[in-house]
Structure 1
């Protein structure tokens, strides 16, 4: 049976580690954490079924199978890069001069900004603007070509596609875990500050589902979920957010999910564009690139 190619986005990390024989060196080169690079190498090995490296001292050395795979990766990526350059040269006159994309702050910081930058670079678009907006009403459609929003349809005058539904889970810094009362039947948060964007409706809904008392806990309302996540990382409280936004922090151990209970968010992420521009190749290609990025991120 043919293997899935969903591991392709792990190849840059593998190529860097194979060249440098070092997780830490590859992490510095790619501007990632060592744990993130190590996790990508592990997932690549699991997806391909290849034992890629042997550990020698503090470094890594390619196995014979890993060396063969590295050679194939280098050849394949080189051919892809050459093909992209040729395609770009063939249609240089048709390249768009600029692209403007609007993203919710937290989603952009977490991972989506890199996908948009990658897309602009692959199309040789010289001027890219990434704006910030959460809802469709916040987007300046006079200058924005495409937007990702955390909102609910309908969106009059706009074309939209669902990007991702959202499940909310609690996250906090590991230092707060001992203060959580998880052993008793009547579980409480023991006065830990609740970080939220709305009036507290989501927390109330989660508390019922988790059978956890919020009595005695303080409440801090922030303007963006990015602020809630930052405060949680700093140990200032417990946030109720999508794990799509916190996966890097969770992988690095800077945040934990103390409860298994999750709830559906009141809104979801949608991709929007002006109805008159929905059929433009640039817009369609960017939409497909973002959808592919999300599918790969979940694999």
Structure 2
């Protein structure tokens, strides 16, 4: 079993791994955010692949991240489970900064991103009613409660906006009034692409501030960075606990998510398209 960890804002260094190696990966979708760091976690024998989403020095904005290359790179390394971390704003009073949230739903407000590996020569229609792996999300929430002193909230909706600008007052007030929990910029298309790659995916979201529905803030970025730094310890402790106590009998539906979803006959898929997606759909297509 191989576990991938995608580090969000404030998470730029890997977990304590040994026998590490740095791997440079090329994909049909370009280069990932940076090289992958791969190693064995503690005495567990579990292989972990680490990728800082925004690059080692936060050079990449949410809109311009190479999401498809990142997921393809993890799949190349045999990753079956993806734990992601995200810095998010709170949409509700009862979710103050430094709360950890493991959402179960997404509301997509992005506009300019490649949302799929498929569509140009091969059409795939997958269920996305439950955008995060329920099995992995439950394990992540339990790990956060057991490994940290943070307030942990299980379930809730992550509103994903385009960015890199924050939401307008009208948008923020609307999301708040819907009763949704957190707002961020990176879970889409990451969660969709992981599902298309048949990897179980869940996220641990660390609250950094309140949205402007609660009133404008001076030095908002400074506030975000301060709480993101404080969240780093709890996020890493959660992920380490989750890996150390990973259940042996978990069998997520995500691992067979492509079954019965490919509309295009094998013989109608262009050779170059098939080559690009062979890593994902090869077992489902006729020779």
TM-score normalised to structure 2 length: 0.27
Larger Rg: 1
TM-score normalised to structure 1 length: 0.27
Q: Which of structures 1 and 2 has the larger relative contact order (alpha carbons within 8 angstroms, sep 6+)?
A: 2
Higher helix content, 1 or 2 = 1
